[in-house]
Protein backbone atom coordinates (compact mmCIF):
# COMPACT_ATOMS: atom_id res chain seq x y z
CA UNK A 1 0.00 0.00 0.00
CA UNK A 2 2.85 2.35 0.88
CA UNK A 3 4.48 1.59 -2.47
CA UNK A 4 1.28 2.54 -4.28
CA UNK A 5 1.15 5.88 -2.46
CA UNK A 6 4.72 6.63 -3.49
CA UNK A 7 3.98 5.76 -7.09
CA UNK A 8 0.94 8.04 -7.14
CA UNK A 9 2.97 10.83 -5.63
CA UNK A 10 5.64 10.32 -8.23
CA UNK A 11 3.10 10.39 -11.02
CA UNK A 12 1.66 13.66 -9.67
CA UNK A 13 5.10 15.17 -9.43
CA UNK A 14 5.99 14.27 -13.00
CA UNK A 15 2.73 15.68 -14.40
CA UNK A 16 1.43 14.00 -17.52
CA UNK A 17 4.75 12.55 -18.48
CA UNK A 18 5.49 15.08 -21.24
CA UNK A 19 8.05 17.84 -21.29
CA UNK A 20 7.46 21.57 -20.94
CA UNK A 21 7.82 23.85 -23.88
CA UNK A 22 11.39 24.78 -24.50
CA UNK A 23 12.75 21.88 -22.34
CA UNK A 24 15.25 19.69 -24.09
CA UNK A 25 14.40 15.98 -24.39
CA UNK A 26 17.71 14.82 -22.91
CA UNK A 27 17.39 16.92 -19.79
CA UNK A 28 13.88 15.66 -19.05
CA UNK A 29 14.84 12.02 -19.66
CA UNK A 30 17.81 12.16 -17.28
CA UNK A 31 15.84 13.91 -14.56
CA UNK A 32 12.89 11.53 -14.83
CA UNK A 33 15.15 8.48 -14.69
CA UNK A 34 16.93 9.75 -11.58
CA UNK A 35 13.61 10.52 -9.91
CA UNK A 36 12.32 6.99 -10.44
CA UNK A 37 15.54 5.49 -9.09
CA UNK A 38 15.08 7.49 -5.87
CA UNK A 39 11.45 6.39 -5.61
CA UNK A 40 12.34 2.71 -6.01
CA UNK A 41 15.16 2.91 -3.46
CA UNK A 42 12.88 4.59 -0.93
CA UNK A 43 10.20 1.96 -1.49
CA UNK A 44 12.70 -0.88 -1.00
CA UNK A 45 14.04 0.73 2.18
CA UNK A 46 10.55 1.13 3.62
CA UNK A 47 9.66 -2.47 2.75
CA UNK A 48 12.80 -3.83 4.40
CA UNK A 49 12.10 -1.75 7.50
CA UNK A 50 8.54 -3.09 7.74
CA UNK A 51 9.77 -6.70 7.43
CA UNK A 52 12.46 -6.22 10.11
CA UNK A 53 10.06 -4.62 12.55
CA UNK A 54 7.50 -7.34 11.94
CA UNK A 55 10.07 -10.07 12.64
CA UNK A 56 11.12 -8.39 15.90
CA UNK A 57 7.49 -8.08 16.99
CA UNK A 58 6.85 -11.78 16.47
CA UNK A 59 9.96 -13.01 18.28
CA UNK A 60 8.75 -12.47 21.93
CA UNK A 61 5.52 -14.31 21.19
CA UNK A 62 7.46 -17.30 19.91
CA UNK A 63 9.64 -17.29 23.00
CA UNK A 64 6.61 -16.98 25.27
CA UNK A 65 4.91 -20.01 23.74
CA UNK A 66 8.00 -22.22 23.92
CA UNK A 67 7.62 -24.91 26.61
CA UNK A 68 9.85 -24.37 29.67
CA UNK A 69 12.81 -26.69 30.11
CA UNK A 70 14.17 -27.67 33.52
CA UNK A 71 17.93 -27.31 33.95
CA UNK A 72 19.84 -30.57 33.41
CA UNK A 73 20.01 -32.67 36.55
CA UNK A 74 16.90 -31.16 38.18
CA UNK A 75 15.34 -33.93 40.28
CA UNK A 76 11.74 -34.86 39.53
CA UNK A 77 9.26 -34.05 42.32
CA UNK A 78 8.56 -37.02 44.53
CA UNK A 79 5.08 -38.46 44.50
CA UNK A 80 3.00 -37.73 47.57
CA UNK A 81 0.88 -40.65 48.67
CA UNK A 82 -2.51 -39.46 49.80
CA UNK A 83 -3.75 -41.82 52.51
CA UNK A 84 -7.17 -41.61 54.11
CA UNK A 85 -7.42 -43.70 57.29
CA UNK A 86 -10.77 -45.40 57.76
CA UNK A 87 -12.76 -46.97 60.55
CA UNK A 88 -11.58 -50.55 60.87
CA UNK A 89 -7.89 -49.75 60.39
CA UNK A 90 -5.77 -51.21 63.15
CA UNK A 91 -3.51 -49.41 65.57
CA UNK A 92 -0.74 -51.84 66.46
CA UNK A 93 2.13 -51.29 68.89
CA UNK A 94 5.00 -53.80 68.90
CA UNK A 95 7.11 -53.16 72.01
CA UNK A 96 10.81 -54.07 72.25
CA UNK A 97 13.31 -53.86 75.10
CA UNK A 98 15.65 -50.89 74.97
CA UNK A 99 15.28 -47.52 73.26
CA UNK A 100 16.93 -48.90 70.12
CA UNK A 101 15.27 -52.32 70.14
CA UNK A 102 12.55 -51.42 67.62
CA UNK A 103 14.99 -49.94 65.12
CA UNK A 104 17.28 -52.97 65.33
CA UNK A 105 14.36 -55.32 64.76
CA UNK A 106 13.15 -53.28 61.79
CA UNK A 107 16.63 -53.16 60.26
CA UNK A 108 16.79 -56.95 60.46
CA UNK A 109 13.63 -57.52 58.41
CA UNK A 110 13.48 -54.52 56.08
CA UNK A 111 15.77 -56.03 53.43
CA UNK A 112 13.64 -59.09 52.64
CA UNK A 113 10.46 -56.97 52.91
CA UNK A 114 11.67 -54.11 50.70
CA UNK A 115 8.68 -52.64 48.89
CA UNK A 116 6.07 -54.23 51.15
CA UNK A 117 3.16 -51.94 52.01
CA UNK A 118 3.70 -52.18 55.77
CA UNK A 119 7.18 -50.64 55.47
CA UNK A 120 5.57 -47.39 54.28
CA UNK A 121 3.02 -47.06 57.10
CA UNK A 122 5.27 -47.44 60.10
CA UNK A 123 6.65 -45.22 62.86
CA UNK A 124 9.23 -45.64 65.62
CA UNK A 125 8.42 -44.70 69.20
CA UNK A 126 10.66 -44.38 72.25
CA UNK A 127 9.60 -43.82 75.85
CA UNK A 128 12.14 -41.85 77.87
CA UNK A 129 12.30 -40.55 81.43
CA UNK A 130 9.57 -38.30 82.78
CA UNK A 131 7.08 -39.70 80.31
CA UNK A 132 8.63 -38.12 77.24
CA UNK A 133 7.59 -40.03 74.12
CA UNK A 134 9.51 -39.66 70.87
CA UNK A 135 7.77 -40.57 67.60
CA UNK A 136 9.30 -40.58 64.13
CA UNK A 137 7.72 -42.02 61.02
CA UNK A 138 4.44 -42.32 59.12
CA UNK A 139 1.12 -42.14 60.95
CA UNK A 140 -2.07 -41.98 58.91
CA UNK A 141 -0.27 -40.84 55.75
CA UNK A 142 1.55 -38.02 57.59
CA UNK A 143 5.21 -37.85 58.51
CA UNK A 144 5.50 -37.26 62.25
CA UNK A 145 8.83 -36.25 63.80
CA UNK A 146 8.30 -35.23 67.41
CA UNK A 147 10.78 -35.34 70.28
CA UNK A 148 7.99 -34.86 72.81
CA UNK A 149 4.64 -36.10 71.54
CA UNK A 150 2.71 -34.85 74.57
CA UNK A 151 4.04 -31.30 74.19
CA UNK A 152 3.37 -31.28 70.45
CA UNK A 153 -0.09 -32.85 70.25
CA UNK A 154 -1.46 -33.06 73.77
CA UNK A 155 -3.48 -36.07 74.86
CA UNK A 156 -4.35 -38.11 71.78
CA UNK A 157 -5.32 -41.77 71.25
CA UNK A 158 -1.81 -42.43 69.94
CA UNK A 159 -0.13 -40.94 73.00
CA UNK A 160 -2.47 -42.84 75.33
CA UNK A 161 -1.73 -46.09 73.49
CA UNK A 162 2.02 -45.56 73.64
CA UNK A 163 2.04 -44.69 77.32
CA UNK A 164 0.03 -47.81 78.09
CA UNK A 165 2.05 -50.19 75.90
CA UNK A 166 5.62 -48.85 75.93
CA UNK A 167 7.35 -48.77 79.33
CA UNK A 168 10.06 -46.26 80.10
CA UNK A 169 13.34 -47.27 78.49
CA UNK A 170 11.58 -49.28 75.76
CA UNK A 171 10.80 -48.66 72.11
CA UNK A 172 8.11 -49.74 69.67
CA UNK A 173 7.11 -50.11 66.06
CA UNK A 174 3.78 -48.36 65.54
CA UNK A 175 1.56 -49.37 62.63
CA UNK A 176 -1.64 -47.49 61.88
CA UNK A 177 -2.80 -49.32 58.79
CA UNK A 178 -5.29 -51.80 57.32
CA UNK A 179 -5.41 -55.21 59.00
CA UNK A 180 -3.65 -56.96 56.13
CA UNK A 181 -0.61 -54.70 56.54
CA UNK A 182 -0.44 -55.31 60.28
CA UNK A 183 -0.66 -59.05 59.66
CA UNK A 184 2.25 -58.81 57.21
CA UNK A 185 4.32 -56.83 59.73
CA UNK A 186 3.72 -59.41 62.46
CA UNK A 187 4.64 -62.23 60.09
CA UNK A 188 7.86 -60.47 59.05
CA UNK A 189 8.94 -60.26 62.70
CA UNK A 190 8.36 -63.93 63.40
CA UNK A 191 11.04 -65.29 65.77
CA UNK A 192 11.80 -61.93 67.38
CA UNK A 193 10.95 -61.05 70.96
CA UNK A 194 8.39 -58.31 71.47
CA UNK A 195 4.97 -57.63 72.92
CA UNK A 196 2.11 -57.04 70.52
CA UNK A 197 -0.84 -54.74 71.25
CA UNK A 198 -3.34 -54.21 68.44
CA UNK A 199 -6.96 -53.20 68.09
CA UNK A 200 -9.35 -51.88 65.48
CA UNK A 201 -9.66 -48.11 65.50
CA UNK A 202 -13.12 -46.74 66.13
CA UNK A 203 -14.59 -43.86 64.15
CA UNK A 204 -13.83 -41.53 67.07
CA UNK A 205 -10.17 -42.68 67.17
CA UNK A 206 -9.81 -42.25 63.40
CA UNK A 207 -11.08 -38.69 63.68
CA UNK A 208 -8.91 -37.86 66.70
CA UNK A 209 -5.77 -39.33 65.14
CA UNK A 210 -6.43 -37.46 61.92
CA UNK A 211 -6.70 -34.16 63.77
CA UNK A 212 -3.57 -34.89 65.80
CA UNK A 213 -1.35 -35.34 62.72
CA UNK A 214 -3.14 -32.91 60.38
CA UNK A 215 -0.36 -30.29 60.63
CA UNK A 216 2.40 -32.78 59.80
CA UNK A 217 3.61 -32.91 56.18
CA UNK A 218 2.29 -35.59 53.87
CA UNK A 219 4.51 -38.67 53.84
CA UNK A 220 6.50 -39.17 50.62
CA UNK A 221 8.65 -42.07 49.47
CA UNK A 222 11.69 -40.15 50.75
CA UNK A 223 10.27 -39.52 54.22
CA UNK A 224 8.67 -42.90 54.79
CA UNK A 225 10.53 -45.26 57.08
155, part of any domain: yes
Q: What pLDDT, on a 0 to 100 scale, did the predictor assign at position 31?
A: 60
Helix (H, G, I), strand (E, B) or coil at 20: coil
Q: What pLDDT, on a 0 to 100 scale, did the predictor assign at position 188?
A: 94
Tell me: do 108 and 207 sit in the same domain: yes
C-alpha 101/C-alpha 173 separation (Å) is 9
Q: What pLDDT, on a 0 to 100 scale, did the predictor assign at position 33?
A: 62
Phi, psi of 79 (to 5 degrees): -75, 130
Q: What pLDDT, on a 0 to 100 scale, did the predictor assign at position 50?
A: 66
Domain of 9 in residue numbering reads as: 2-16+25-63
Quote the pTM value: 0.61
- Number of domains forming the structure of the chain: 2
194, part of any domain: yes
Q: What pLDDT, on a 0 to 100 scale, did the predictor assign at position 70?
A: 46
Secondary structure element (H or E) that encloses residue 35, with its range? helix 25-65
Secondary structure element (H or E) that encloses residue 176, with its range? strand 170-177
Tell me: do 122 and 193 sit in the same domain: yes
Tell me: do 98 and 41 sit in the same domain: no
Tell me: do 99 and 42 sit in the same domain: no
Average pLDDT, consecutive stretches of 10 residues, N- to C-terminus, the chain (225 residues):
48 50 51 66 71 62 45 40 75 96 92 83 93 93 91 83 94 95 95 95 91 89 50
Tell me: do 122 and 196 sit in the same domain: yes
Amino acid sequence: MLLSVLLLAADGASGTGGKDAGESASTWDVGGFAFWIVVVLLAVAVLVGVLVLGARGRRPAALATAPPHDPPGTPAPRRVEHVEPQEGWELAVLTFDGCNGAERAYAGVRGPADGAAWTRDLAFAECHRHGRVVVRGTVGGRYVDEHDLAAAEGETPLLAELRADVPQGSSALVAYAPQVEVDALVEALTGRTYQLHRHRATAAEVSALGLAVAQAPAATDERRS
